Amino acid sequence: MQSIQVAPVGSRITYLRGKDGLSTRLDLWEYDLHARKARVLINCDTIIAAGADLSEEEKARRERQRMAGLSGILEYDFSPTGQALVFGCGGNLYYAALDAGKEPVPVQLTGAGETDAQISPCGSHVAYVRQQNLFVHDLSGASERQLTSDGGGAIKNAMAEFIAQEEMDRHSGFWWSPDDAHIAFARVDESGVTVHQRLEIGAHDTLTVEQRYPAAGEPNARVRLGVVDVRTAAIRWMDLGPDTDIYLARVAWLPDGRTLAVQRQSRDQRRLDLLFIDIGSGQSRRVLSESSNTWIDLHDELTFLKSQAEFIWASGCDGFRHLYLYSTDGTLLRRLTQGEWVVDDFRGRAIKAVDEARRLVYFTATAGDATQRHLYAASLDTQDPGNPRRISAQPGVHAVTMPSTPRFYIDQFSGPAQPAQAALRDIDGSLIAYLSENRLDAAHPYADCLAEESAAEYGELQAEDGQCLQYRLFKPHALDRSRRYPAILDVYGGPGVQRVLKNWTGATFTQVMTRAGYFVLQLDNRGSAFRGDRFQAPIHGKLGEIEVQDQLLGARWLARQPQVDAARIGVWGWSYGGYLTLMLMFKAPEVFRAGVAGAPVTDWALYDTHYTERYLGTPQENPDGYAASSVLPHAHGLRGALLLMHGMADDNVLFTHSTRLYRRLQDLGKPFDIMAYPGGKHGLTRTGEGRHAYMTIKRYFDEHL
């Protein structure tokens, strides 16, 4: 179950679910809270043929959202009453009334490649982007109005620029006011961004693509923030300050409908300002500001109260991300949470709801165990921020969806022995009903695989600076005590990601490899996420050093296990994991006999601004750090068998990263293997090409280990 929502008013829960036999093609389902029954609400195949074409903009947006391997209905938006919704399917936009007792009949509103459709808060209009301009559709009069007109070429209105989508987790470029009267929107000017020519090599053709890709140290897109009057299309530009080389990180409206809350991040990402902007004058005032000697992570934890002139804000000012209550004049009222743990959902917004009447905030956090996520409640008037009340009970990872008035919640739970489960729970955590129990019994599709299931063993190693590194180890089932087995270090290791969780790991590539007779180790090195600033910060200024040090600690520990053959250890990873695979094989060739690096960054000067400069600064400021962080100067160390895999149309980690390494290894006379995927994007392992990619990785380790 994906994209779970509680209807704003009414008795239905909706979600997207794959078809039986085709899990990547999504239909819209509903669960009736009164009848306690689920049914298909809208079948995508009744709307549009499976092979419908998408616009290039929509394809790129899906790639940025890691949804490129999915089809059908991927996004939907409720009206305020919950009695209607809009959704996109096959490049068209549809509206469906949800009358009680009647089957919804989707009506096509548009059909010209619209993206990012949003119903207005009062339900009178739908706004969307078409051909880089903002449009609104009046639902009462069934008429359309164009609100911006200069979009095209390097100018994009109401759209999130590449950097915002890929690195800032902001996928929209416009925001409705609470009263439907105005829309705030970003105007993106990419004319100053360097145009990189790259080839998209497909199976039957080759395209030359001119992509405005802001590489580290190069100019970014210039972003302005405007507010357009929905009735007159008049635009007023907001004051974001004299420095134009900044990031428009987040935009929201205060409940008054006359004030914008804007998060402005400095180019070096060491400062984050919260601005309040009066839309009548366009003038801004800084409400609060945070700074860091390394970097500040962006988040979505900003919630305005409706009954009080207060807001909840998350800050890592004490080294761990926690919640704080402020008045709207910027005065800190009190901290709401405290401790050596973080408020986090690991995949989105951690604040789930605020009960203003009872003065409670509900959120997910890592309190007690960084490998788990649980639901907590804290008082807005708390005098004991270090002891929030835990609500969820089962050990594991809980992803929570709540209605705006928190009477109940949907608990998407996964544990080491429980595949993804969705339950309807009372606000105290007690079970009301299962939406999807997914019981792992004899009738379950995975039941026949359980006999060979490898249960994760969790543990800790100590890093050089004394910090705790968490790992999970998977062993082949039914070990033969007389044998020694090959082993694989399965690595990601990059910032912003956590691999070691107490969640379900069945039906994964890890289980494929343990069934084939491999030990598999996953370890979260320093620099990875959700453990506080001290754990993240050691990578600042130089990449591929601390991470390698910690992963080598894990690999050498793995080699000492009594049934592991230390002469047959491999390493593999994708993206940042591909980068670390190369660094490990080049810097510690005595440890690894074989490695597979998928879509690796090989030279950070080729990667984008927001991600790279967060950790390394610019190449102009930190040339030594960039040189040391590149894999190319270390390539001479290669001794083991190496397979390089890359999509030949990757617009994130460009194929150039691999071709540069090809040339470097060739110049050094080093043997290596490649597997290139025509038309493949960065997320090719999540698409149909993924099966071949995983088969290739397994075959390579079978041959060399």
Residues tagged active-site: 575, 650, 682
* Max Cα–Cα distance, the chain, nearest Å: 80
Q: How many CB atoms lie within 10 A of CB 211?
A: 15
Q: How far is CA 147 from CA 114, 119, 142, in A?
A: 14, 16, 16
Give me 589's structure tokens. Answer: 């060739």
d(CA 104, CA 39): 12
What's the Rg (C-alpha) of the chain?
Answer: 25
Closest CA to 264 of 281, 229, 239: 239
Name the region of 131 (left: φ>0; alpha: ψ -120 to 50; beta: rest): left
∠ Cα 575 579 584 (to 5°): 140
Closest CA to 265 of 299, 237, 238: 299
Task: Please list the residues that pair with 207 across neighbouring strands.
Answer: 200
The DSSP output letter for 194 is P
Task: Please list the residues that pair with 127 across neighbouring strands.
Answer: 118, 136
∠ Cα 368 304 405 (to 5°): 75
d(CA 60, CA 681): 10
Whether residue 79 contacts residue 95, with contact meaning beta carbons closer than 8 Å, is answered with no
d(CA 339, CA 696): 45
Closest CA to 123 of 148, 103, 95, 147: 95
| Distance, CA of 683 to chain centre | 13
Task: Please list the residues that pair with 682 across neighbouring strands.
Answer: none
Burial of 671 (0-12, 13-18, 19+ CB in 10 A): exposed
d(CA 697, CA 572): 8
Could you tell me how many residues make up the chain?
705
Can you state the angle between helices 576-587 and 546-559, rounded to 10 degrees?
Answer: 70
d(CA 273, CA 261): 10
DSSP character string of 93-144: EEEEE--TTS----EEEE-S--EEEEE-TTSSEEEEEETTEEEEEETTTTEE
Whether residue 352 contacts residue 404, with contact meaning beta carbons closer than 8 Å, is answered with no
d(CA 375, CA 345): 9
Residue 309 has φ and ψ, to the nearest 5°, of -80, 65
Summarize the chain as % helix, strand, coil (round to 5): 15, 40, 45
**3-class secondary structure, 691:** helix
Give me 316's structure tokens. Answer: 């890592």
Q: How far is CA 427 from CA 211, 355, 377, 380, in A?
A: 49, 11, 10, 17
d(CA 400, CA 377): 13
Closest CA to 495 of 541, 554, 547, 458: 547
Sign, CA torsion 591/594/599/600: positive
d(CA 621, CA 478): 54
Residue 450 has φ and ψ, to the nearest 5°, of -65, -30
